[in-house]
Amino acid sequence: MTVRVQTAPFDVEAEVAALRGGDARVGAVVTFLGTVRDINDGTAVATLELEHYPGMTEKALEAIVAEAQSRFDVYGVRVVHRVGPLAPTEPIVLVAVTSAHRADAFDACRFVMDFLKTRAPFWKKERTPDGDRWVDARVSDDDADARWG
């Protein structure tokens, strides 16, 4: 499947192998792996709780992948995003892209992440020593989205 939302960890190598398959046209595989940091805005984070909107989140990710496929010359795109409680250093999200040459794979991978950040319904809540707090959206993420026009 192109897009998955799951609580379980994922295996990057297995995901890449499944995406790449035996396609001899593929000359470039670009992956982005997002992981949990232990500090956000100066506060220690014990756990991150990832929430999504079942149904809409998958549709939004599929729309982003479809958009990437129409904009860039890529063969395959795969997005795996975790939800539920996540500890610092754990992987949150994987975007993997295959293409004939690196430029389109790099661009498509970044495009998917930039759009995911501003358009896919996920929300982070941090568990900190001072209590729980919802993470605020970043203006820099809107800027990253806007650069794609």
Which residues sit at the interface with another protein, rule CB under 8 A?
A: 34, 50-53, 55-56, 59-60, 81, 92-93, 113, 116-125, 134-138
Q: Given the complex with another protein, which of 5 and 75 has the nearer CB atom?
A: 5
Q: Write down the least CB distance from residue 63 to another protein, Å.
A: 9
Q: Given the complex with another protein, which of 78 and 117 has the nearer CB atom?
A: 117
Nearest CA to 37 out of 89, 94, 92 is that of 89
Distances (CA, A) of 37 to 45, 57, 92, 98, 117: 8, 23, 10, 27, 16
- Give helix 102-119 / helix 139-146 axis angle, nearest 10°: 140
Q: Write down the least CB distance from residue 120 to another protein, Å.
A: 5
User: Which residue bears the tokens 């989140």?
Assistant: 57
Q: Write down the least CB distance from residue 24 to another protein, Å.
A: 32
Q: Return all residues near 131 (Cβ < 8 A) that are at least 6 apart.
A: none
Q: Given the complex with another protein, which of 78 and 81 has the nearer CB atom?
A: 81
Q: Given the complex with another protein, which of 30 and 50 has the nearer CB atom?
A: 50
Starting at the edge strand found earlier in the chain, the sheet holding 122-128 runs: 84-86, 47-52, 122-128, 131-134
**Across the chain, how many H-helices and E-strands are there?**
4, 10
Q: Given the complex with another protein, which of 99 and 117 has the nearer CB atom?
A: 117
Tokens of 98: 């295959």
Q: Write down the least CB distance from residue 26 to another protein, Å.
A: 25
Q: Write down the least CB distance from residue 71 to another protein, Å.
A: 19
